[in-house]
Structure formats: C-alpha cells, structure tokens
Amino acid sequence: MTQALIVIDLQTDFCPGGRLAVAGGDEVVDAVNAMMAGHDAVVLTQDWHPADHASFAGNHPGAAPFSVTQMPYGPQVLWPAHCVIGTPGAAFHPRLDVDRADLILRKGFRAGIDSYSAFFENDRTTATGLAGYLRDRGVTDLTFVGLALDFCVAWSAMDAARLGFRARVVEDACRAIDLDGSLDAARKAMRAAGVVLA
C-alpha cells in the first residue's frame, strides 16, 4: 500500500480575504502540514485560471456571481474571478509547507473549461495527467484535504474512487462553500461513489 496526500487548492483566494473566500479556509493549514509527514507522496493542486476564463461571472455580461450557466459540456456555476494566473490570490497559503510537495498540479488553465477535479476537467473527458502520475509511482491509497470540500475536494475524491484508487476525505482538514445545499449533496454523492469520509 502506497499512500498519497492530495491537498486541494489551499490558495489565498479561497481563504478569508480572498476573492472566493471559503469560511475558515485558513484554519486547515496547520493540520494539512502535519499530515504530510505520514504519507509516501504529497501532491498539491493549484487552481490556475487565465483572466478570460469562462467560469468567471465577469466574463458573462449581466450574469450574477454564483448563478449557473450552460457550457457546451453542461451546467457551470459562474464564480467571482479567482486564482488568476500569476496573481497573489493564486499563490498557496503562505503557511502551507509547499517545499514538502512532490508534485504541484495546476488545473483550470484552459479558458473554455473549468476543472474542479484534480483528475478530469469539467467536460469529464480532458485528463489532467494525475492518474498516470500516481499509478506510475505505485500509489494505491489517496487522502484528500483542502478547499473546497463540496466542489474540488468532492469531485477529485469521486473521480479517484471511479478510477480504482482507495479514496478518503478527512473532513476536519477541509472547509466548504455550501452553495444551495451543495455540501449535503456532495457528502451523499461521495458516499455513493465509495469515498470514505473520515
């Protein structure tokens, strides 16, 4: 058994004061740092969007943030602009132990497709390459922590389970956006997908 810790989007824009702040997002940093030592591999994901990204409400005239639009690949929440490539908001939380990471995986860099999951973009077919990386390293067991529990953490963990990894989410080391019941829905969907909620 080879275990990897997958730290999802622990970035300044998702922490209090950021452009898409998740309540208490910064509270998980110390717990996440402490968990790194207990894993054979540590992967950080980094939400990484160009300024003209299609998931930003500001790029859809008249659209309100947190409304839902139809993309060629299906429904998509329109977010406030966040994690724009090269901006301070896209940086990792300053206390996150970035030096300990084996791999930093950036996602969401194609202007036309959002990417919640660390494995597949939101069209559900464009792969990020993470599955191949983990398999090549012989990793079998994945523990997910970070932000946000009901979006990027949940989508990543469910994809992991579907791809045949053992997938576990440590909820204490996550925080949620909770948009219109999204947290309850994500918990149910994760359990149904075979993800262990710890």
109 three-class SS: coil
Within residues 21-80, the interface with ligand VGL by CB under 6 A covers: 47, 79
Number of residues that bind ligand VGL (CB under 6 A): 9
* Closest CB 138 distance from Zn ion, rounded Å: 30
90 three-class SS: helix
Question: Is residue 119 involved in binding ligand VGL (CB under 6 A)?
Answer: no
Q: How far is CA 197 from CA 55, 128, 144, 173, in A?
A: 28, 24, 10, 11
Site string for ligand VGL, 120-159 (x = CB under 6 A): ---------------------------xx--xx-------
Distance CA 54, CA 102 (A): 30
Can 188 be counted among the known catalytic residues? Answer: no
Can 83 be counted among the known catalytic residues? Answer: no
Question: Is residue 47 involved in binding Zn ion (CB under 5 A)?
Answer: yes
107 touches 47 (CB < 8 A): yes
Chain position carrying tokens 């069209």 = 123
Catalytic residues: 9, 107, 152
Residues that bind ligand VGL (CB under 6 A): 9, 14, 47, 79, 116, 147-148, 151-152
